[in-house]
Structure 1
C-alpha cells in the first residue's frame, strides 16, 4: 500500500510522524445468475458497477512517536467507503469502522487497544492464495459464514511478540461492553506463526459470543462462532504457493470446513497472475457444499495504479450459497454461477 507523510513535529526531543494513506478501487461486475433473496432461487444475470472489486476502498491515518529506549507510541484510524456513492462501506458501518486503535511498540513486542483485526483473520489472510481479493477469494467464504465477526473486533486488547527463532505469537481479548454480563459479546483469538526462509506456517483460533455492545453496530460483528485455521505459504523467486484449512462452527447451525489452495506468479515486474480454489463442506450436513474457483491478472500502470481482470465460478449444492464477490454477489443460488470483474485501483 502506498503512503505519503504529510507532517512531522518534535516535542521534548521526541520525533512524531503522521501518514495519510488510502485505496480507491472501482470495477464492473458480471454474473450469469443472481440470488432471489425472497425465494432463495436463481434470478437473472447482472451487469453492475461495483465498489472495490479487488481490495476495499478506504482511507486512514497512522502515526508514531519515538518515546526513547526503543519504544514508540503508535496509532491507526481507518475508514471504509464506497467509491460508487461516497457512503460508508467495506467496514462495519462506522466512520472508522475498519481500525481505530492506539498502542505501544518495542523490542518486547506490540500492544494495541481498540478496534482491530483478530489474529485469526490475519492468519486466514496470510494463507489465502488470492490475498483476500473482493472477487473470488477466501474473503468471500469468510463473510458467507460469519460476516465481519473476527475481522473487525471492537473493545480489543492485543499483544504480538517479536519474532524469535522464526516463531511469532499473537493474542487478542475483546470485551463485550455490557455492564453486568461479562460473557456477552466476549471475543478472544490467538495465533502462532513459524517463518524459515521462504516457508511460513500459520495456525490460529477464534471464539466469540453473541450480544454485547457490538451488536448495535450497523453491521454486527458478534456471530457466535468457533474458528480454527492452519495454513502454509512457500515463496521462491517469483512464485508463491499457498494452502489452508479453516473451520467456521456455529453451534446448532453449521460446521463449515473450507479447504483452499492456489498460487501467484510474477510474470514480469508489472504483470502478476494468481489463482485459487476453495472447497466448503458442512460437517453437520454433507449435502451442503460448494466449490469456488477464480483467477486474476493485475497490470501495474505505475507504482500506485493497477488495472485488473478476474474470472471465476462457484457451484453450490444443498443449502450452501457461496458467492463470487463481496460487493453485489456475496450470496448466490444453487447450481453453477460464472462471473467476471474488470477494474482499476489507485493507492496513495
Structure 2
C-alpha cells in the first residue's frame, strides 16, 4: 500500500520536472544614468541629471514554452523607468516599452500580438547612430521618422520571417478599434533586410492614420484626444492635423577592419492636413501635405575590444506648405554627434557624447526655426549643444 501510493507521487514529480525543463522565464534590464549640460534650454543653459540617454533604463520578463514539433509560445513584458526619480517612462505606462504574447517556429516565423515596435525601428532604424553611439540625443530632429523608437504601436499583430540565407522580412498591423470606421487610427508597416558578410542593408515603409492620436498620442496616460497636440517637438508639432503620416526609409552598413561605415535615408510625409475632427488642431491653417528628407552618415571604430568611438552627421530639409498667413518655406536642420564608450566589463560601461544642432528657415509652428535636439527643451535660438556623461549597467 505504501509503495502504491509513492509511485504516482513520484510520477507527478517527474512530470513537473519535465514541464519545468520545457519552459524558461528570464529577468533582464538596463540602468543608464548620467549628467547632462545643455547650452540653451528655453533660453538658459542647464545642468541636469538624465537617464536612459544611451539606452533606455528598463526591466522586463521574457519567456518561452516548448509546445512540441518546433513550436514555442513566447511572451515579453518590458517596463521603462527613470532612475533619477523612479517613475515610469513612456507616459507613465506600466509596460510602456513593449508587451506581447505570441508563437514562434524556426521554419514558419514568429507571430506576436500586443504593444510593439514598427518595422522602421526594426529594420533601417538599427543603422542610425542613435542605435549604437549617440542614444536618444542623436535621434533625427524630434525623432520625426521614429528611428529612435520613441513611439510604439498599440493593438498590433506582427509577423517576422525566419532568416533565408541572409534575407528576412516582416509586417505589422495596428488595429484602429473605431466602430464603423475600419481605417481610422490604424497603423501598418512592412520591412525587409539582408545581411551578407560585411554588408548589411534594410528598408521599410510605415503608414499611420490620424497619427496625432493613434501614434504620437499612444505613449500618454489616459485616452489621447484630437483636441490636443500630442507632439512635443516644434519640428513637426504644427502638423498634428495630418490625416496620414508616412515614412519610407532605408539604411545599411559595411564593415572594414575595426570600422563600420553606415548611412540612412528617410522620407517623412504628413498628408491631408486640416483633419481637425479626427486628428488634431491646425492653428496655422495648413492645407495639403508636407514632407521631409533626412540623410545620415556615420562611422563606428573599435580602438580596442573595450573602447568604441562613433561620429555621425545628419541633414534634414522640410518642404514648403500653404498656410492661412501665406507660404511656409520649411526648415532645414544640421546635426553632428560624437561619442566614446568604454567597457569596464561585459555588462558595465561608461560613455560620453556631444551633440550640436543648427536650424534655419520656418518650422511647423510657422515661426523662425529653433534648434531642438531630441527630447530636450528646445533652444530659443538657431543653435543648441548638449554634452552628456553616463554610466550603464545591464543585468
Same fold? TM cut 0.5: yes
Partner of 1:263: 299
Shift of 1:12: 4.8
Once residues 13 and 83 of structure 1 are traced to their aligned partners in structure 2, the CA distance between those partners, rounded to angstroms, is 34
In terms of fraction of residues, the more strand-rich structure is 1
Shift of 1:22: 0.7
Larger mean Cα displacement after TM superposition, 248-257 or 308-317: 248-257
Q: Do the aligned residues in 2 keep the contact of 1:130 with 1:276 (CA within 8 Å)?
A: no
Shift of 1:257: 1.3
Mapping 1:166-181, distance limit 5 Å: 166-181=166-181
Partner of 2:278: none
Once residues 281 and 213 of structure 1 are traced to their aligned partners in structure 2, the CA distance between those partners, rounded to angstroms, is 23
Shift of 1:336: 1.9
Partner of 2:85: 85
Segments of structure 2 that go 5 or more residues without pairing to the other structure are 1-15, 225-229, 232-239, 274-288, 321-327, 364-368
Q: Do the aligned residues in 1 keep the contact of 2:77 with 2:99 (CA within 8 Å)?
A: yes
Partner of 2:113: 113
Aligned length: 329
CA deviations 1:84-139 (Å, max 9, x no partner) are 111111x243100110001111121111111100111222321103416435323x
Q: Per the alignment, in what secondary structure is the counterpart of residue 136 of structure 1?
A: helix
Once residues 83 and 307 of structure 1 are traced to their aligned partners in structure 2, the CA distance between those partners, rounded to angstroms, is 16
Once residues 213 and 192 of structure 1 are traced to their aligned partners in structure 2, the CA distance between those partners, rounded to angstroms, is 22
Instruction: Report 1 or 2 for greater relative contact order, CA contacts < 8 Å, sequence distance ≥ 6.
Output: 1
Mapping 1:1-348, distance limit 5 Å: 10=17, 12=19, 15-35=22-42, 43-89=43-89, 91-106=90-105, 107-131=107-131, 133-138=134-139, 140-141=140-141, 143-144=143-144, 151-210=151-210, 211=213, 215=217, 218=220, 224-251=244-271, 252=273, 254-284=290-320, 287-318=330-361, 319=363, 320-326=369-375, 329=376, 331-348=378-395
CA deviations 1:39-96 (Å, max 9, x no partner) are xxxx01111111222111111110011111111111100011111111111x243100
Q: Per the alignment, in what secondary structure is the counterpart of residue 121 of structure 2?
A: helix
Once residues 324 and 310 of structure 1 are traced to their aligned partners in structure 2, the CA distance between those partners, rounded to angstroms, is 13
- Quick one: structure 1 residues 10 and 254, their matched pair in 2 at CA, closer, same or farther if it must change by over 3 Å? farther
Once residues 216 and 333 of structure 2 are traced to their aligned partners in structure 1, the CA distance between those partners, rounded to angstroms, is 30
- Quick one: structure 1 residues 215 and 129, their matched pair in 2 at CA, closer, same or farther if it must change by over 3 Å? closer
- Quick one: structure 1 residues 204 and 301, their matched pair in 2 at CA, closer, same or farther if it must change by over 3 Å? same
Once residues 165 and 149 of structure 1 are traced to their aligned partners in structure 2, the CA distance between those partners, rounded to angstroms, is 27
Q: Do the aligned residues in 2 keep the contact of 1:178 with 1:213 (CA within 8 Å)?
A: no
Shift of 1:324: 2.9
CA RMSD of aligned residues (A): 2.6
Q: TM-score, normalised by structure 2?
A: 0.77
Q: Do the aligned residues in 1 keep the contact of 2:151 with 2:219 (CA within 8 Å)?
A: no
Once residues 136 and 235 of structure 1 are traced to their aligned partners in structure 2, the CA distance between those partners, rounded to angstroms, is 24
CA deviations 1:239-293 (Å, max 9, x no partner) are 1111011122112363111100111111111111011111110023655111110
- Quick one: structure 1 residues 215 and 315, their matched pair in 2 at CA, closer, same or farther if it must change by over 3 Å? closer
Q: Per the alignment, in what secondary structure is the counterpart of residue 59 of structure 2?
A: strand
Once residues 66 and 292 of structure 1 are traced to their aligned partners in structure 2, the CA distance between those partners, rounded to angstroms, is 47
Segments of structure 1 that go 5 or more residues without pairing to the other structure are 1-8, 36-42
Q: Which has the larger radius of gyration?
A: 2
Once residues 214 and 268 of structure 1 are traced to their aligned partners in structure 2, the CA distance between those partners, rounded to angstroms, is 40
Q: Per the alignment, in what secondary structure is the counterpart of residue 33 of structure 1?
A: strand
Shift of 1:342: 0.5
Partner of 1:5: none
Shift of 1:217: 5.2
